[in-house]
Amino acid sequence: MLDVVENQNKITVNAYDKKYKEGYGLQYPEGHVIRFHRYILEHDLNIKGGNILDYGCGNGSHLQYFRDNNFVPFGCDTSETAIAQCKKRLPEHADQFFVTPELPNLSEYFSQKFDLIFSNQVLYFFNDKQLSNILKQFHSLLKEDGILFATMMAPNNYYSRYAKEKEDGLTRIELFTDRLHEINYINFKTREEVNEFFTKQGFKKLHIGWYSCVIREQDGPSDHWLFVGKKI
């Protein structure tokens, strides 16, 4: 069973490193991230800065946004290419970004406590056992009353159209379209499942929102849940 999980993780890691080498990655922060910062962090919670850990930080576009808004950026990713880009983007913080294995022991990389842990479009590549592991680590690294921002892929996401068999809690997605040619393993969750799972790991739900976008009709909706919780 372990070999199956390791193989699933390596397929995802290798696919994304290849994509980063080919120019993949945001150059600007996504709209739902800006709204989370403005509506929830600033307006609702009066959080104006602090230490942020971006788990799955990619090329650092979101960390740059938060750095520009008074946060101290820390990040990790499985892609060496992405972390190199992140260090180039934020050279004054380069020693705070790390290449990590698929499921790292985060305490080996970060001794700090965080006001905010942020993970955008990453956690649904884990099965439930792995997801529980990383959420417990997040809980340990957060300060008291620290905030978790995380997204999970919803069953209505167009990826589900390409679903094949389920393997060890992850659905195999064979995504071969005119635009994409890749295999992924996804942990789809309903809104209720997201709430129950994250609550069990010690996070009080503040908000569960969702976001989606359809650019081409043939692609379908890109539905994701957006969980915002407080460490309890």
**pLDDT < 70 positions in the chain:** 1-8, 10-25
Q: Give residues with Cβ within 8 angstroms of 228, minimum separation 6.
A: 36, 40, 147, 148, 149, 205, 206, 207, 208, 209
pLDDT of residue 25: 62
The phi and psi torsions of 174 (rounded to 5 degrees) equal -105, 95
Question: What pTM value is reported for the model?
Answer: 0.91
C-beta of residue 198 within 8 angstroms of C-beta of residue 225? no
Nearest in space to 185 (alpha carbons), one of 30, 1, 5: 5
pLDDT of residue 206: 99
Q: What is the DSSP secondary structure assignment for residue 215, as one 8-state letter? A: S
Structure tokens at 117: 């842990």
pLDDT of residue 168: 87
* C-alpha to C-alpha distance for 225 and 137, rounded to whole angstroms: 21
pLDDT of residue 179: 81
C-beta of residue 79 within 8 angstroms of C-beta of residue 21? no
Question: 47: left (phi > 0), else alpha (psi -120 to 50), else beta?
Answer: beta
Provide Rg for the chain, Cα atoms: 17
Cα–Cα distances in Å, from 229 out to 65, 85, 207, 232? 21, 29, 7, 9
Ordered domains of the chain (ranges, CATH): 1-154+189-231 (3.40.50.150)
pLDDT of residue 194: 99
The phi and psi torsions of 106 (rounded to 5 degrees) equal -65, -25
